[in-house]
Amino acid sequence: MELNPKIGQPDIEQVATRKGYGEGLLELGLADQKAVVLTADLAESTQVLEFAQKYPERFVECGVAEQNMMGVAAGLALAGKTAFVSSYATFSPGRSWDQLRVSVCYSQANVKVAGAHTGISVGPDGATHQALEDVAITRVLPNLVVEVPCDYLEAKKTTVALGKMKGPAYFRLGRAATAVMTTAQTPFELGKAYVMREGKDAAIIGSGPILYQALLAAIELEKQGISVMVVNNHTIKPIDVKTIVEAAKLCGAVVTVEEHQVMAGCGSAVCEVLAQNFPVPVEMVGMQNTFGESGQPDELLKKYQMDKDAIMDAIKRLIKRKRQVI
């Protein structure tokens, strides 16, 4: 797997995943006249401003009205457009879930919902703006593809791939600049998880920028003689059962990581696969049924146990449990 050789080094490039969304839209906008973009008064922050300036006739400013925006996107899609809905995930799909359910998913309207400002690393804005439930409320909806890109480049690839795909999709983006783990050459396919790092004692299966913390944990544990696999499960739905089961068979123990509530998110999706196919001991790293607060991303990741150290602790607990099982 080709990844950024700077992984683990302090000077690794840091770019927000939302920037990848903006760039992906520009690429799509040029290639596909049907691509339209909507926002609810968050053009700059969701990185769609450049698209709006370049293609004003294909941009809809909805004002602060997320429910209407979701429905307008469905109408545009039913009249032949590929509609990208852009807001913060706490508002959309947070406030527009009913519209997403009926106008988009049940109708199979070609709408792509970009939820920005997800995870605790939203930081200073505080709990109201930190989307930690968005994967839960989207992955239960039939017909909806759910994607969580791990970095800026993967977000760009996700945007382009979803634009070419027909049907409803949700994908989550982050506010903070985070490590660019992949390269332009790293293979990306919707619905296909991939191994970022080989290992055999435990497998970390996760999604989003937090995977960088997972890679750092794996690197450090290797020095302590523990071999950890890292799997990027960027598609939460439809989930890649084969890759997840293979990782579980090889390692016999799984740690799930996500910047999301541990209930009903990526980790739960992985557990559903494991429970039905190949049960192994699991530790879940993520938000533990609580709201966030203001702070810097690193402070918050540490306090809420989603940083490298927390992941290392989880792996050690897991390996102890794995031995007990054997």
Partner 1 sequence: MQKFSQNELKYKANDIRQDIIQMLLEAKSGHSAGPLGMADVFTALYFGGVLNYRPDQPGWPGRDRLVLSCGHICPVLYATLAEAGYFPKTELMTLRKFGSRLQGHPHNLDLPGVETTSGPLGQGSSQAVGMALAFRMDHVKNRVYLIMSDGEQNEGQTWEAVMLAGKNKLHNLTAIMDRNNIQIDGFTEDVMPLENLKAKYEAFNWHVLEVNGNNIDEIIDACLEAQSIYEKPTLILAHTIPGMGVDFMENDFKWHGNPPNKEQAVLALNELRTLRGQITSEHQ
Strands (E), the chain: 14-15, 35-39, 59-61, 82-88, 111-116, 145-147, 169-172, 178-179, 194-197, 202-206, 228-232, 235-237, 254-261, 282-287
* Active site members: 66
* 42/284 Cα distance (integer angstroms): 33
Using rule CB under 8 A, residue 49 touches partner 1: no
Q: What is the DSSP secondary structure assignment for residue 3, as one 8-state letter?
A: B
Q: Does 76 bind partner 1 (CB under 8 A)?
A: yes
By CB under 8 A, residue 230 contacts partner 1? no
Q: Does the bond joining 5 to the residue before it have cis omega, within 30 degrees of 0? A: no
Q: Binder to partner 1 among 60, 241, 250, 264 (CB under 8 A)? A: 60
Q: Which is nearer to partner 1, 74 or 239 (CB)?
A: 74
Per rule CB under 8 A, count of chain residues that contact partner 1: 30
| 181 lies in the binding site for partner 1 (CB under 8 A) | no
Interface map 104-123 toward partner 1 (x if CB under 8 A): --xxx---------------
Cα atoms in the Cβ-side hemisphere of radius 13 Å centred on 177:
5
**Per CB under 8 A, which of residues 88..107 are in contact with partner 1?**
98-99, 102-103, 106-107
300 binds partner 1 (CB under 8 A): no
Task: Mark residues 10-39: x for contact with partner 1 by CB under 8 A, - for none.
Answer: --------------------------x---
The closest alpha carbon to 269, from 258, 198, 123, belongs to 258
> Minimal distance in Å, beta carbon 39 to partner 1?
12
- In 72-89, which positions are buried (b, 16+ CB within 10 angstroms) versus exposed (e)? bbbebbbeebbbbbbbbb
Choosing from 2, 30, 63, 277, the residue that interacts with partner 1 (CB under 8 A) is 63
Give yes or no for a contact between 254 and 280, defined as CB atoms under 8 angstroms apart. Answer: yes
Contact residues toward partner 1 (CB under 8 A) are 36, 57-58, 60, 62-63, 65, 67-81, 83, 98-99, 102-103, 106-108
